[in-house]
Amino acid sequence: MAEFLAYLIAGIATGAIYALAAIGFTLVWQTSQTINFAQGEFVMLPAVLILLAIKLFGAPIWLGALIGIAAFILIFGVGFKLAVVDPMIRHGVLPLAIATMALSIIMKEGAKDGFSAEAQKFPSFVPTETISVFGAAISLQHVAIIAVAFAVIGLLQWFVGSTRLGRQMQATAQNPTVARILGIPVERMVLLTFVINAALAVVASVLISPIYLAKFSNGEVIGLFAFIAAIVGGFNQVRGALVGGLIVGIVDSMAAAYISTSYRLAVPLVLLVVVILVKPEGLMGRKEERRV
Amino acid sequence: MTAPATHSAAPAARRLPLPAFVDGTLLTLVAAAVILWFVPSGMGRYGTYVLSLWLVMSVAVMGLNLTLGYAGLKSLAQAAFMGIGAYATALLTSKVGLNWYASFAISGLLTFAVGLVLGFPALRVKAHYLAFVTLAFSTLIWLVLRNEQWLTGGVFGLSNIPRPSFFGLKLDGALAFHRFVVVVTFLLAVVLWWMIRSPWGRAFTALRENPIRAASLGIDTRMYTLLAFAIGSAYAGFAGALYAPLVEFIDPSPFSLSQSFFLLLMVVAGGAGYLLGPFIGALLGVVLPEWLRFAGSLYLIIFAAIVMLLLIACPQGMSGLLERGWAKLTSKKEGAR
């Protein structure tokens, strides 16, 4: 039982990371029809940029973090939208999706060549010891991840649901044409979702990298699980992405503990296929109508 | 409202009124096959190997071109399908002792069947779900290749894969095997050329242009998309069956998810929806990095960046660029757009 509790906490913690990535993925999909296949690399890169800034400028950690985060949000929030999505969306959704695959290769290989092919230690912003709860060894890091991730997601929900700006963003996602008629600056709202996506990726990256270490190939698994989380939860629902992320994280943790470590990746994949077969609109999703 | 029209209208408008151009495609294929038959005689073992590798990758890219370029589906498992073909052929020829031709057929059938099984649930929902199902499948195959040591040799892979013989003629030498690859690739390309010209192939294109309209014209949309995907996957199986005896040693790494991404980029670079596009794409993706050895792994970044630029400037890829250039030269005003 104690063991189970520890695995559950670990699962919720990684699930919260997947949820952050999946929420960003869903937001970007909703507002601009961009299926971002580089989402995993988006979570990998901020940590690498932070370490790079520390190494290059000899900066203290806080300054390095500031430079790395600012650079990431500028390039992969604003720049991604302006330089990749805008010129390509007029050709349709398919070329854009492929462009994000190209981007993922560039980010991964760039991190490998420009930074390091080896996993690098990433400083933790919280204490790393474990505490004992009901006889279970719970890592404080996991608890901190859960607390921060949920705080961020709660903040996002509040922003989207209760502020003027957030509601404008939501209107843009639901129906850009009507939003434009109502005088909402649609372009700026779309840009805002890309910045939020980048910011969520930064949070996920800073939270997960002390555990997984900063490595160029980290994005593969995180990206895969973020996709699965988004689909399992419901492709067009922010709430769905949260639920999907947690489910995938817990399933992954339990699979590693009780089924097989070498096939832990396979269990969420099976979950994905089952959901697509049984409830293709996702657990929290609504059926989409087909428009000609 | 239908945005994808700009992306895909151009090749169709070109192809439909000009059957003469399609014959040009066939002539190009024949000429290229003849040239490739003779060209490596002075190139040495390694140069010949690179040429053969180019053709083998072209077969996989051709299949993906059918899936992506003609049917408009994203498959992220082309490298995994190639892996299935390669491992099946390697195991059947080296462990079971079956001849290569039977293994080749089995590899194709196997990947075709897996394509059907994977595509059926995904395409039931929506075209882009295929991307996610194949993404998952890609990872699963990679896990199996790496973990099931008793069958696949795990990370150590399989070695001593025999090369086929042709009516008693041994094809062990680099040049002899290259010529064999040329013939097989040529045949596979001609089959695809024929398939796309057939009424059946026209249905694929109709489907990509406007799926709902195609459905209202009585085309069984789901069946056709599913078949396009399964045939595209079978081509990856064929490519794998050629790849295994070519490199004579296989391990899981060339069949990973990033390799599937890379194959997709090759389709786009060459020109999605052009029959000869895959050869150009594979040339850029496989042969050019061999010549540009000094660039090392930077080449991947350069290649991906080139593809992104192409997608912005000319989504029809290199084939589209060549066509534009040709139209400029012959000053056909309506062709240049």
pLDDT for B235 equals 97
Q: How far is CA B306 from the centre of its chain?
A: 19
Candidates A227, A230, A197; CA nearest to A75 is A197
**Residue of chain A whose alpha carbon sits nearest to that of B125:** A280
- With helix as H, strand as E and coil as C, how does chain A read? CHHHHHHHHHHHHHHHHHHHHHHHHHHHHHHHCCCCCCHHHHHHHHHHHHHHHHHHHCCCHHHHHHHHHHHHHHHHHHHHHHHHHHHHHCCCHHHHHHHHHHHHHHHHHHHHHHCCCCCECCCCCCCCCEEEECCEEEEHHHHHHHHHHHHHHHHHHHHHHHCHHHHHHHHHHHCHHHHHHCCCCHHHHHHHHHHHHHHHHHHHHHHHHHHHCECCCHHHHHHHHHHHHHHHHCCCCHHHHHHHHHHHHHHHHHHHHHHCCCCCCHHHHHHHHHHHHHCCCCCCCCCCCCCC
Beta-strand pair A136-139/A130-133: antiparallel
- The reply to whether residue B268 touches residue A88, judged by beta carbons under 8 angstroms, is no
Judge contact between A19 and A245, C-beta under 8 A.
yes
Contact B128 A102 (CB under 8 A): no
Token pair of A13, please?
Answer: 């913690």
Residue environment code for A152-179, b if the CB has 16+ CB neighbours within 10 A, otherwise e: bbeebeeebeeeeebebbbbbbeebeeb
What global pTM score does this model have? 0.87
Mean pLDDT of B221-237: 91
Q: Does B262 touch chain A (CB under 8 A)?
A: yes
For residue A139, the number of C-alpha atoms closer than 13 Å in the C-beta half-sphere is: 17
**Average pLDDT in chain B:** 85
Asked if A92 and A217 touch (Cβ cutoff 8 Å), the reply is no
Instruction: Choose the closest CB to B308 out of A102, A112, A265.
Output: A102
What's the rounded Cα separation, in Å, for the pair A31 and A86?
A: 12
Hey, is the C-beta of B143 within 8 angstroms of any chain A C-beta? Answer: yes
Distance from CA of B240 to the nearest CA of A (A): 23
B125, B140, B261 ranked by CB distance to A105: nearest:
B261
Q: Identify the domain containing residue B98 by its residue range.
A: 5-336
**A287 interfacial to chain B (CB closer than 8 Å):** no
Greatest distance between any 2 Cα atoms in chain B: 62
- Return the closest-CA partner of residue B312 out of A187, A105, A31, A83: A83
Which residue, B57, B69, B55, B105, is CA-closest to B85? B105
* Closest to B157 (Cα-Cα) out of B267, B71, B243: B243
Does the distance separating the beta carbons of B301 and A265 come in below 8 Å? Answer: no
B133–A272 CB contact, under 8 Å? yes
Consecutive H or E run containing B165: strand B165-166
pLDDT given at position B12: 45
Instruction: Convert the pLDDT of each residue in B24-77 to its tens digit.
Output: 788 888 888 988 888 877 778 888 999 999 999 999 999 999 999 888 888 999
Nearest CA in chain A to B260: A101
**CA B58/CA B266 separation, integer angstroms:** 9
| 3-class DSSP state of B111 | helix
Given a cut of 50, whether residue A292 has pLDDT beyond it is no
Q: How many domains does chain B have?
A: 1
Q: Cβ–Cβ of B128/A35 closer than 8 Å?
A: yes
User: For B301-320, how does the pLDDT look when each residue is reduced to its tens digit (9 = 90+)?
Assistant: 989 999 999 888 888 888 88
**Tokens standing for B242?**
């050629």
| Residue B48 near residue B174 (C-beta atoms within 8 A) | yes
Over 50: is that where the pLDDT of B8 sits? no
List pLDDT tens digits, range B241-293. Answer: 999 999 999 999 999 988 999 999 999 999 988 889 999 999 999 888 888 77
**Integer distance in angstroms from the first to the last C-alpha of chain A?**
54
- Calculate the CA A120 to chain-centre distance: 21
Question: Residue A287's pLDDT is what?
Answer: 63
The Cα B315–Cα B296 span in angstroms is: 27
Give the residue extent of every domain in chain A. Answer: 20-219
Give the CATH number for residue B256: 1.10.3470
In this prediction, residue A262 carries a pLDDT of 81
What's the confidence (pLDDT) of residue B155?
A: 87
> Which residues, in sequence order, are CB contacts of A139 under 8 Å at separation 6+?
A9, A10, A128, A130
From the list A92, A104, A228, which residue is nearest B7 (CB)?
A92
- CA dihedral sign, ordered A196, A199, A205, A210: negative
- C-alpha–C-alpha distance, residues A99 and A106, integer Å: 10
B132 vs A contacts (CB less than 8 Å): 227-228, 231, 272, 276
